[in-house]
Amino acid sequence: MLKEFSARQTQSAHLKRYLCDDYFDLFVWQDAEGEAFGFQLCYDKPGHERALTWMKTSGFSHAAIDSGEEDPTANCAPILKNEKEFPADIVYREFAVRAYGIDPRIQALVLGKLEEYAVS
């Protein structure tokens, strides 16, 4: 089940929220009134991790997450690489089950955008 944790805030005008579990990391950016500006849903953390990002100003992007080198002394900064295939059914189903009990605005936003991206 997704749980919310405090997120490091930047000097942006948007509030960043962070929710996660063993399968998802979800970052949501909201304005002062609570309206979403964007989100990044990282999924399949234990397998082939990818990220679906939606921003109000630029729309969708989908990427694989390259977590960097296995060697702990090497540069381990993750990077995003273009990924075409999106397992919409799996991600939607997993999110619907795991998002039970989170802020209903966030739940509705992400589920709606997952549907929108799947048919685009």
Q: How do 15-20 and 3-5 pair as beta strands?
A: antiparallel
Q: Tell me the pLDDT band of 13, cut-offs 50, 70 and 90.
A: low
Q: Domain total for the chain? A: 1
Q: What domain range is 82 assigned to? A: 3-119
What is the per-residue pLDDT for 8? 74
pLDDT: which is higher, 99 or 83 = 99
- Give the mean model confidence (pLDDT) for residues 33-44: 93
Q: What are the tens digits of pLDDT across the range 87-117?
A: 999 999 999 999 999 999 999 999 999 999 9
pTM, 2 dp: 0.86
* Token output for 47: 């397998």
Q: According to the 3-state scheme, what is the secondary structure of the chain?
A: CCEEECCCCCCCCCEEEEEECCCEEEEEEECCCCCEEEEEEEECCCCCCEEEEEECCCEEEEEEEECCCCCCCCCCCCEEEECCCCCHHHHHHHHHHHCCCCCHHHHHHHHHHHHHHHHC
